[in-house]
Amino acid sequence: MSDIITTKSKLQLISDQFLTESIVKNTYNNQNGYHISHKNVISDGDEKGKADNGSSIDIQVRNETLAKNSYSLNEGYNTLHPNAVSDGDEKGKGESGTIGGSIDIQVRNESLARNLYDVNGEYNVIHPNAISDGDEKGKGERSTIGGLTDINVRKENLSKNSYGSDSPYGVIHPNALSDGDEKGKGENPTIGSSIDIQVRNESLARNLYDTNGGYNTLHPNAVSDGDEKGKGESDSIGGLTDIKTRIDNVNRNPYGTNSEYNSVHPNAISDGDEKGKGESSTIGGLTDINTRTESVVRNIYNNNKTYPDFQ
């Protein structure tokens, strides 16, 4: 048997060449594979290995940063560090006798110097500047309430008020009772002011109905008795115009009590005229019957030849 000769295509030859060149350039192979303990993985001062400590550049940058840091493992930054405690410099702000940096302390001292109230004279409900004693500051209740302006305004208002402790306004005050003047409106023995009473008297004078002839269902102006006013049921219902209109409508109506419209009325039954459409010997009015007859004549299907006809 002759050997089988395999001929590779041009694309396969290019692929094999590329694979060979890549393997040659690869510094890692089966005998020297890349892994966590390889020298190019371990941080040993060169630029390749970065494990644990980093590359040479990482180590250099870290050393420079640590050199600039004023805090170290032996003197770490914490709440007790001089740069954390408020001791008069600008760095420390934590509480230690005082609180804040030097600028904070200076601003606080200036603010306290301007404050009228301190530990020896704190502001509270019994402080002179809180109590109403005739000046503008205190407004709290003492013998009076409010500052000086409040007191003066209240006195002016009270002097203009016609109702005082000796004559307070109430339901029995003359200015509350209806006694013929314009002020009082409360019932006594009438109700309303003088204008209210005058208007009410004028309205009552124009009113046709009073206590002796009140309007009700039996009043002549409420009962239907042939005039325009009364509409309530008596012998009839409605005013004069209502009665005339109803009589006129009834006269025009061809259906009355003696010949009421119903299912057996000639005008309801289909008997060859236009009015009746109900089923008798046929159905519909005259026009309906004629139209149906014409349609049946034109229809090629009838009782003798129904649709569909498969015969």
3-class state of residue 278 by DSSP? strand
Q: Which residue in 168, 170, 192 sits closest to 179, CA to CA?
A: 192
Q: Would you state the pLDDT for residue 131?
A: 92
- Block residue for tokens 């393997």: 23
Concatenating the DSSP letter of every residue in 111-165 gives: HHHH-S--TTS--STTSTTTB-SSSSS--B-SSS-S-HHHHHHHHHHHHH-S--S
Q: Which residue in 254, 232, 255 sits closest to 243, CA to CA?
A: 232
Alpha-carbon gap, residue 177 to 9, rounded angstroms: 125
Q: Would you state the pLDDT for residue 142?
A: 80
Per-residue pLDDT 10s for the chain (311 aa) are 455 566 788 888 899 898 888 877 777 777 788 888 888 888 787 887 777 778 888 888 988 988 888 888 888 888 888 888 888 888 888 887 788 888 998 999 899 889 988 888 899 998 999 999 999 988 988 888 999 999 999 999 988 998 988 889 999 999 999 998 999 898 888 899 999 999 999 998 899 888 888 899 889 989 999 999 989 888 889 999 999 999 999 899 989 888 899 999 999 999 999 988 988 888 999 999 999 989 988 988 877 877 775 55
Q: Would you state the pLDDT for residue 1?
A: 46
Query: Would you list the domain boundaries of the chain?
Result: 126-155, 208-252, 260-300
Burial class (CB in 10 A: 0-12, 13-18, 19+), 192: middle
pTM reported for the whole predicted model: 0.36
Decide if 105 contacts 94 (C-beta within 8 A).
Answer: no
Distances (CA, A) of 257 to 142, 225, 242, 261, 262: 95, 24, 20, 9, 12
3-class state of residue 37 by DSSP? coil
Q: Would you state the pLDDT for residue 311?
A: 55
Decide if 226 contacts 243 (C-beta within 8 A).
Answer: yes
Q: Which residue in 72, 79, 98 sits closest to 87, CA to CA?
A: 98
Give, as one character, the DSSP assignment of residue 187.
Answer: -
